[in-house]
Each structure stands twice: as structure tokens, then as C-alpha cells.
Amino acid sequence: MTGAIPMETSTARPAARPMRADARRNHDRLVGEARRSFAEHGTDASLEDIARRAGVGIGTLYRHFPNRDALMNAVFQDALCSLLTRSRELAAAEAPCRALVEWLGAIVTHAGEYRGLAHALMSASRDATSPLTQCHQPLREAGAGLLRRAQESGSVRDDVSIDDLLQLTNAIALAAEQSPDDPELTDRLLRLTLRGLK
Amino acid sequence: MTGAIPMETSTARPAARPMRADARRNHDRLVGEARRSFAEHGTDASLEDIARRAGVGIGTLYRHFPNRDALMNAVFQDALCSLLTRSRELAAAEAPCRALVEWLGAIVTHAGEYRGLAHALMSASRDATSPLTQCHQPLREAGAGLLRRAQESGSVRDDVSIDDLLQLTNAIALAAEQSPDDPELTDRLLRLTLRGLK
DNA sequence: ACCTGAACACCGTTCAAGT
DNA sequence: ACCTGAACACCGTTCAAGT
């Protein structure tokens, strides 16, 4: 019955029609080249360079990705997917506290994967409309579940929120990024934070 | 005897000759206008704007301050001085742990005073030659003393360094800056960190 | 000695013209 | 429908000419 409500059809997103062959190819080349450039120069790599190296006009880049966040998003989507899978595995694990700790470690590692990503994540968290924030939303919810479980089991304080934890993990990733000569900084800061969770 | 070693005279910095009157005036106007602009637009405010508002050519700005860090440094020197004074008071305080906690709070507040400052401090900490790092050196040493005292009194773990703490406080200030709608974030994150110090 | 501002190099973004 | 690249706006930095 409810499934037959007419509004459904207007609310449902239009079927994503397949891209024209050349558009599809350009799209993929851009994402690939952006991944290379981000890895090499950080996430503030020149967009013009990326377009040129992908053998495409700068306008084409903007047609596919209206802003830098959208491009970053496309680049990080793979990593995001596997993180989400891992999150769901952890949600089913026995020890709630250990699961949360592992999840936080994975988040820090992710944020530190590309130079500039941690900073972008922190800035993006301000507005909910940013594609970067949108795509991290499911991950945030998975983390919220892990945190709640750990709190209910009594192993983590009640007065911390998932947003506090995410801000802190991003901050730790950023700090580590600024001190590349100290590879254990991340671990030390994370351990410090975890102790504070009680 | 040792006071009479001739090398002394060559090592001593040359007496800072007084600036020409117009140069002095331009210098002061630039610093004043930079403070205004940094407060309004963050520390990445346009240098050209600052020069124009100070009624000075852009070349004059560069003559006085070879790079943005140097200008920021001049702007923040006052705050730095009072922080250093406060640090020395705290070093003489009775309770070593409370002193350290207060100091860290003051540091976070300082780093959050201007939008962009926390980030600049984190980036600058990479190279010891940056004027921003140079000027924070005495402050770092004061903090190291406070930390050592707290550790010797047994109230703080031995396996944390002053650099870890500074990275973390800068990171917390940065996180707070990105969430202006949550004025208590700084306090919560700082408390969390402090608990981790044991 | 110090100041000025035109000139240069660079980057992000838009949009009219082309296929 | 999609692509191209010239054009625009902006910013940091330098340097020859001026006082």
C-alpha cells in the first residue's frame, strides 16, 4: 500500500543514465590522475595540472567535479568503502572497547593517508552540505554505534561524543602529518587520548 | 676573567640602530593593520590589503617583513611576552600538576586567538629556522620545565614529551576553530587529553 | 636608506565557441 | 551532450626607478 504512493516516483532519484563513452573515460582519467597528484603534492595539488596530466581541458574537470571537495571525494571513495565494511565487522565483534579502539586507529590512518586530507576533513565538518561530509556520514554513524556500545558496556566515559572523537582523531592525524620525522607520534597521541576515555 | 674574552665583542649582536622616523612609523602602521586584518580575516589575510590599508606600498611591507611568518610574529609578540611572564609565575607555583594544566590551557587559548594561527604554528614547527618557531622557543622551554616538574612529582606519566603536548594543544585549538558553534569543544577535548596524562 | 607601484608568475573559475 | 582553452579575477613577490 504505502509502496504505491505516487510521490515516491518524484522523490526517487532519476535513474543514473550511462555516461557517454568519452565522458566516462575522461572522468576515470581525472580521478586516477588526481589520486596520483594528491599522493605526490597533497590535496591542494593544482587542479590545472591534474587536468593537463589527464590529457583534458580544465573546463572538463570542472564539468565533472564542480569543486575540489567533489574531486577529493571521488578519489577517496574506495578507501571509504573498505573503512565502512571494516566498521560493520567491528560492530559485530565481541569486545566493544577493543572494537572502538581499533576503529579509531583505522580512522586516524585514513585521515593521514594523503597530505592535506586531515585538514580538509576538519574544515569540511563545518557544513553538512559539503560532499566530503556527506560521504563520511555513514562512517560517522558506524562510529557512533561503536561508541554507544562501548559506553553501555561501561568501558568508556559517558560524556564524550562521536564528534569529539572524530575531531580529535583528525587533529592527531594533522599533527602527525606536520611531523613526518616522528613516525610514532600518531600512536603516542592516540594512546594518550584513549587513556582519557577511561 | 672569562668576561674579557675578545670573541665576546664579535659574537654580540650589533647595536640595533634606531630606524629612520618614516620607516619606524610605517613599521608600526603595518603591524597595527596586520593585527586588525588577521583578527577579521584570519592569518591568511591578503598582504596587499594590509599594505594598502596601512597607506604603504606593497614593497614596503616586504622590506620590513620578508614573509608572512615574520609579520605574524610581530603581531603576536605582545601576546607571547605575557604568556612567557605567566609561564615563569607558574614555574614558581606550589602545585606542579595544576601549574602544567593551567599552562596548557593558556597555550590553547593563545593558539585559538586568531583564525589560522593554530595551523601556522603546527606547520612552522617543522623547521627550526622559521621565525614563528624561533619566537615560541622560550615558551617551549618554559613548558618543558613545567612538564618535568609535574613528572618528578609523580602526577604526570613519564612517557610524554613537551612536543607531543604542544602538537596536541595546537591540534585542539585547530579543531575548535573549525567548530565555532561549539564553544565548549576546547574545554572538553583538553580535559580528555589531561585525563590521559594520568 | 627607504619607498613606490608596475611587472611577473601563478592559480582557480567561467563561458563562448566548437564537435 | 560534452569538450576546449582563452579570458578574467586575484594574489604573492620582485625590482628598477624615484625621494
Query: Mean pLDDT lowest for which of A115-124, A143-152, B52-61, B149-158?
Result: A115-124
Q: Chain B residues with CB inside 8 Å of A167's CB?
A: 175, 178-179, 185, 189
Q: Where in chain B is the domain with CATH 1.10.357.10?
A: 77-197
Please check the confidence at residue B1 and state whether its pLDDT lies above 80: no
Can you give the pLDDT at residue A58?
96
Q: Give CA–CA dist B148/B154, Å, rounded.
A: 10
All residues of chain B having their beta carbon less than 8 Å from the beta carbon of residue A171 are: 168, 171-172, 174-175, 189
Name the architecture of domain A77-197.
Answer: Orthogonal Bundle (1.10)
Residues 41-60 of B with CB within 7 A of strand D: 44, 46-49, 58-59
User: What is the tens place of the pLDDT at every residue in B68-82?
Assistant: 999 999 999 989 999
Q: Is residue B103 within 8 Å of residue B69, measured between CB atoms?
A: no
Burial class for B86, CB neighbours closer than 10 Å (0-12, 13-18, 19+): middle
CATH superfamily to which B21-67 belongs: Homeodomain-like (1.10.10.60)
pLDDT grade, residue B16 (50/70/90)? low
pLDDT at residue B14 greater than cutoff 50? yes
Minimum mean pLDDT range among A91-105, B144-158, B171-185: B171-185
The mean of the pLDDT values for chain B is: 88
Give contacts of B168 with chain A, Cβ < 8 Å: 171-172, 175, 189, 192
- What are the pLDDT tens digits along chain A (198 aa)? 443 334 333 334 555 677 888 999 999 999 999 999 999 999 999 999 999 999 999 999 999 999 999 999 999 998 999 999 999 999 998 899 999 999 999 999 999 999 989 988 888 877 777 788 888 899 999 999 999 999 999 999 999 999 999 999 999 999 998 888 898 999 999 999 999 998
The position carrying cell 612529582 is B153
Q: What count of CB pairs under 8 Å joins A to B?
A: 83
Q: Is A109 on the interface with B (CB under 8 A)?
A: no
**A144: helix, coil or strand?**
helix
* CATH code 1.10.10.60 region(s) in chain B: 21-67
Alpha-carbon gap, residue A143 to A157, rounded angstroms: 15
Listed as ranges, the nucleotides of chain D within 7 A of a protein C-beta are 1-7, 10-16
Residue A124 confidence (pLDDT): 81
**pLDDT of A106-147, one tens digit each?**
999 999 999 989 988 888 877 777 788 888 899 999 999 999
- Cell numbers found for residue B25: 612609523
User: Is A48 within 7 A of strand C by CB distance?
Assistant: yes
Average pLDDT over residues B16-37: 90
